[in-house]
Structure 1
Amino acid sequence: MKDPITVEIIAEGLEAAAQEMLLVLQRTAMSPIVYEVLDAGAGITDAAGRLVASGAGIPTFVSIIDRAVRAVHAHFGEDIRPGDIFLTNEPSQGGVTHLNDVAAVMPVYAIGRRVAWVGVIAHWSDVGGGVAGSMMAGAGELFQEGIRIPPIKVAEGGKILTHVFRLLKTNSRLPDFLEGDLWAQIAALKAGERRVRELARRYGYEVFVDTLNEILEAGYKRALQGLANLPQGDFALEEEQDDGSCFRVRVQIRPDQFVVDLRDNPDQMPGPYNLYRDATEIAAQMIFKALVDPRREGANAGFFRPLKVITRPGSLFDALPPAACGFYYELRMRVYDLIWRCLATHHPALLPAGHFATIGGTVLSGRNPDNQKAYVLVEPQPGGWGAFWEGDGVSTLFSAFHGETYICPAEVAEARYGLEVERMALNEEKGGEGRYRGGKGFVRVYRMRAEALLTVGFTRTRIPPWGLAGGGPGTPNRVEIIYPDGSIRRLGIASGVRLPPGARVRIVTGVGGGYGARGDSEGR
């Protein structure tokens, strides 16, 4: 084993480099979805593409970086040089999620050899496709959702390939924002490359590479320690979904292995409600991290070694190209929540009751009436979390795997988009009763000053968050259009819905599930 002090210094240096990349991206991006909401992530891998460090941002984005690096390796082989920068958004080729999320990765060379990779991923507001915002409820194939970017070079030997910029910009309704966000990603990569190269040069190639292996091995040992403290056994759950279908999961926990079996689930859909296998695996990684090592920051490829995810090709959770996946995030939330509920039901002291469990993707597009510039607002929504064995649930927090994201300030939204944020408040509806109460959801009302289009992706709109240990259920999520004549239309997943001037969009996210029976002596 290497000197533990050296290992710790290099490990912390890599974490700091990943955080710096995310900060550079945030401070230089053009789009509020990146610089305000922080719909982004950053990570560092070893030369082989194994994740060794990560920044804040969306946790599920971090594990995209290693997959993007491995996809680049598969496509380019030895045609990788210092100064090269690669992009991908292809879900089956390192992009993992949907076409809006674009991963950018760059090799790091020091002392004449490749020692690591740095990567960032950000949500681009529009990448083409059938509707503004590129999430099309009626899409039947990936081709309809925007420009597909297999692993390609956007810079070669340090020289930016301007023709790639032109191609990407031509396929976006917001070309200037796309270009600005891409430059921000490049700036973030270069900042990370500089920091990692400095570390490698300071300690030398052998020490640096051996330390990365030590970091991965330490992650594996930490995971085994956490696994040993979990209840061992085989667990299963079947849960009805909003559309009446059933999702099923089996979880097997052993001292050295955590197995998630999702084979017994519906076939992939003709619409944009599918997951490619990598996205499913990342959802399982997030709940694995929450269970095995919830209090320590960061995870790496070694940490996830005990996790095994079994899927069936051609199913919702292992879709085959060219399956549409614009609303992938809601299905991935369902996978996460399914595993969570499965284990919480059998061991109620292990996890809280159900939370509002939706990303609540909301996209408004149109032209700002003050300057006639095109805009695309993209925002997730917070909601209520479930109560647990020691207290009430948290109110208005983002969903369980959405991590370090934020609400876009009303002032920014109104200035950039030319609409009004008329209300932001707690959801005071009754629900989530029990010894401890579920956290409150969130109410947000947008008022259109000019004609606009609405796209939304919400689940748990019919079936509320589940209570635990006798606690009551929470309340469902809902999206309502309130038209100027007073009529109301309710939505769950929809795209390109026309809004006349004066229309309001009211978002109401659910109250979390309660914990414990209401009649308990500690009831409230």
Structure 2
Amino acid sequence: MTETTHEEFDPVTFDIIQNALQAIADEMFVAQRKTSMSAIIYEVLDLSTSVLDRHGQIAASGAGIPAFIGVLDKAIAGIFKKYKAEDIRPGDVFASNDPYFGGVTHLNDMVLAAPVFSDGRLIAWVANIAHWNDVGGNVPGSMSSEATEIFQEGVRVPAVKLFDEGRPNQAVFDILYVNTRLPDFLRGDLWAGIAGLRIGERRVLELVAKYGAGTFEAAVEDFMNFGERRARTALKTIPQGTYSFEEEQDNGAIHKLTLTITGDEFIVDLTNNPAQKGSSNSSREGTEIAVQLAFKSFTDPEAPGNGGFFRPLKVITRPGTIFHVQEPGALGYYSEVEIRLFDMLLRALAAHFPGVVPAGNFASICGTVVGGPHPVTARHYTIVEPQVGGWGAWEGSDGNSGQFSGFHGETFNCPAEVAEARYGLSVDQAALNAEPGGEGQWRGGKGIDVHYRVLADNNFLSLGYTRTRIPPWGVAGGLDGSTNYVEVKRTDGSSQRFAFATNVVVNKGDVIRIVTGNGGGYGEPAKRPPRAVAEDIKNGYLTPGRAKDIYGFTSPAKP
């Protein structure tokens, strides 16, 4: 067959195919969302989908969590590492949740991937990832801040075939079903993921049938090259140099990075960081994802986030540290390590390139797991929720309130009505956080103050929150925001406050109070317009006393 050059292809056709890939990834996302069993998938949207090229590089992605999209190319790399090319065949479906075999995150997050063949030739991959509420391990919800080894965190699926040339590998299905406290939900979420893959494969093959395999592959390659050009163009506008930054964490540890920007590379060196410990560790690939997100946010947020865009990026880590965990290290709360890195990178860039990023945000996944016997059915239930919080202010605007962090992407909180219908809890309050913090000429966005009342005895609470001691930073004279925490209010009037905890017993009538931080403020508080201060008081964001202390007045002057 004669080789065809890209110049011989119609650029309009390329554009049609590239946009169609995005539409395919979105349709995969919708199919999986609408058929999943668990609220963390169909309400929170704790999933992501992607179409990848034949080499396993991301070509297009659906909605959901950006940090999840970044997993999928690395998961395909894990498959290629384990299987020879001739062992990957039409009809295969692979599953992996093991961070040491391409799973990247933690055992709750299951990657499903399928190769797409045309006329016997591999031309693309379709893949998705979603959080499953329980995959076994020594605690319900499979996330324990007390874990020291991955063996304690659940069933490991090391890039195995769920389907071999279209034939289901029933042994793998059986192992998954028996290693969970929520088999019905796991079964439903698994098959929803498979349905998403089948939709994606069908749509890719329809595209190939319409335009031809050669045109399809050329369009994908062109899209990758376009992403790379956008990244390198953005790099040329950034002052070159080497920049260092370090930040204290809640536990007193110091996280450090060195950033080197050249004419064609963006290098992040993380070698000088604490040793891996407990379950708060990230895989090497997960660390790369956190850096990728910061890199894209800083250089060109509007460019396509495909594999080509990240070619100028280089990440350096040291094995055995929190940013490059070694087996058999635990990774249950990997997300708090990665979001701390993402946040630190943005803060470092803000320090060296003022005006580029806003004030600090609540910057934690605030993973919250509650479960136990349902008060009506007595069946075991588990609710897994990330939490929304306050974003930092920036010049000219107050911060957004009640949003997930940028790291967590286009996702939502679980509605109170769904939580009450599906789980053994009642929602006594869902409000914005009225605690002080984040005042400025433009104030930080507000976090939340949500109260879950437990409806049966012998329930449990597990959680992992950061930014519980060191609040989001203010900028240009704006005040720091407030911190994240959980308070358990007992029926006897006592209370306990937590940042990380595993299997805290909560009984009927106890209230789990979830509080997420207010973002940092921007600009001197004295410059905030009086009417804006009065509006903050009216909305309950500010007490008159604190307004008097910070702003010097409690209401606008009479005209």
Residue 21 of structure 1, CA deviation: 0.6
Asked if residue 471 in structure 1 is aligned to residue 478 in structure 2, the reply is yes
Give the match's secondary structure for 2:310: coil
Other-structure match for 1:412: 418
Q: Which runs of structure 2 are paired with 1:386-401 in the superposition (5 Å)?
A: 386-401=392-407
Provide Cα deviations, 1:256-282, integer angstroms capped at 9, x if missing partner.
21111111111111x101011000000
1:2-401 matches, cutoff 5 A: 2-77=9-84, 78-269=86-277, 271-296=278-303, 298-401=304-407
Q: Is the 8 A contact 1:111 1:205 kept in 2?
A: no
Residue deviations 1:470-504 (CA, integer Å, cap 9, x gap):
22100011110001111110000111111011111
Kept in 2: contact 1:44–1:53 (CA 8 A): yes
Indicate if the aligned counterparts of 2:454 and 2:509 stay in contact, CA closer than 8 A. yes
Give the direction of change, closer, same or farther, for the CA distance of 1:513–1:319 in structure 2 (3 Å limit). Answer: same
Task: Report if aligned partners of 1:265, 1:315 keep a CA contact under 8 Å in 2.
Answer: yes
Aligned to 1:450: 456
Distance 1:160 1:421 in 2: 42
Match of 1:95, SS? coil
Give the drift of 1:72.
Answer: 1.1
Contact map agreement 1:45 1:117 (CA 8 A) in 2: yes
Whole-Å separation in 1 of the counterparts to 2:127 and 2:91? 13
Distance 2:492 2:215 in 1: 70
Q: Deviations over 1:104-154 (max 9, x none)?
A: 000001133111000010101000001100001111100000011101001
Distance 1:119 1:62 in 2: 9
Q: Secondary structure at the match of 2:261?
A: strand
User: Which protein is bigger by CA-based radius of gyration?
Assistant: 2
Aligned-pair CA distance for 1:429: 1.5
Do the aligned residues in 2 keep the contact of 1:383 with 1:511 (CA within 8 Å)?
Answer: yes
Are 1:109 and 1:116, in contact at CA under 8 Å, matched by a contact in 2?
A: yes
Match of 1:493 in 2: 500
**Cα distance in structure 2, aligned partners of 1:347 and 1:428:** 32
What is the distance in 1 between the residues matched to 2:328 and 2:371? 26
CA distance in 2, matches of 1:301, 1:396: 31
Whether the 8 Å contact between 1:89 and 1:103 is mirrored in structure 2 is yes
Deviation at 1:521, TM superposition (A): 7.7
Q: Answer yes or no: is the 8 Å Cα contact 2:440–2:528 preserved in 1.
A: no
**Letter of the structure 2 residue corresponding to residue 352 of structure 1:** P
For 1:423 and 1:476, locate their aligned partners in 2 and report how far apart those are by CA, in whole Å.
19
Secondary structure at 1:302's aligned position in 2? helix
Bigger CA drift: 440-449 or 223-232?
A: 223-232
Give, in whole Å, the separation in 2 of the partners of 1:158 and 1:503.
50
Name the SS for the 1:513 alignment partner. Answer: coil
Give the match for residue 554 of structure 2.
none
Kindly provide the CA deviation profile for residues 145-165 of structure 1, in whole angstroms up to 9, marking residues without a partner as x. 001110100111112222211
Residue 229 of structure 1 and its aligned partner are, at CA, apart by: 2.9
Query: Aligned to 1:398, what secondary structure does the other structure show?
Result: coil
Rounded to whole Å, the distance in 2 between the matches of 1:493 and 1:399 is 19
Could you tell me which amino acid in structure 1 is paired with residue 370 of structure 2? L
Check the 8 A contact 1:368/1:416 in 2, yes or no.
Answer: no
Note if contact 1:88-1:151 (Cα within 8 Å) is conserved in structure 2: yes
Describe the SS at the equivalent of 2:444. coil
Match of 2:515 in 1: 508
- The Cα shift of 1:295 comes to 3.2
Residue type of the alignment partner of 2:225: E
Task: Give the whole-Å Cα distance in 1 for the aligned partners of 2:297 and 2:512.
Answer: 34
Superposed CA offset, 1:455-477 (max 9, x none): 11100000100111222100011
Unmatched 5+ stretches in structure 1: none
What per-residue deviation string (whole Å, max 9, x for no partner) do you get for residues 396-436 of structure 1?
A: 11012101111111111111112101111011112112221
> Aligned to 1:192, what secondary structure does the other structure show?
helix
Q: Partner of 1:364: helix, strand, or coil?
A: strand
On the 8 A contact 2:486/2:498 being kept in 1, the answer is yes
SS in 1 for 2:142: coil
| 1:238 Cα deviation from its structure 2 partner | 1.2
Kept in 1, the 8 Å contact 2:371–2:424? The answer is no
Q: Partner of 1:480: helix, strand, or coil?
A: strand
In structure 2, how many angstroms separate the alpha carbons of the residues matched to 1:194 and 1:56? 19
Q: Contact 2:134–2:142 (CA<8 Å) still a contact in 1?
A: yes
SS, match of residue 274 in structure 2: coil
Shift of 1:253: 2.1
The percentage of counterpart residues that share the same residue type is 50
Residue range with higher mean Cα deviation, 46-55 or 196-205: 196-205
Residue 521 to residue 147, structure 1, CA distance change in 2 (3 Å):
closer
More displaced stretch, 401-410 vs 1-10: 1-10
TM-score, normalised via structure 2 length? 0.92
Cα deviation, residue 522, structure 1? 6.5
Per the TM alignment, residue 231 of structure 1 is displaced from its structure 2 partner at its CA by 3.8
CA contact (8 A) 1:44 1:65 kept: no
**Residue 459 (str. 1) matches residue 466 (str. 2):** yes
In structure 2, stretches of 5+ residues that fail to align are: 1-6, 534-559
Whether the 8 Å CA contact 1:111–1:201 is kept in 2: the answer is no
Q: Which amino acid aligns with 2:285?
A: D
Shift of 1:250: 1.4
Structure 1: which amino acid aligns with 2:215? V
| Distance (whole Å) between structure 1 residues aligned to residue 528 and residue 116 of structure 2 | 60
How big is the shift at 1:519? 3.8
Question: How far apart, CA to CA, are the structure 2 residues paired with 1:91 and 1:389?
Answer: 40
CA distance in 2, matches of 1:345, 1:442: 28
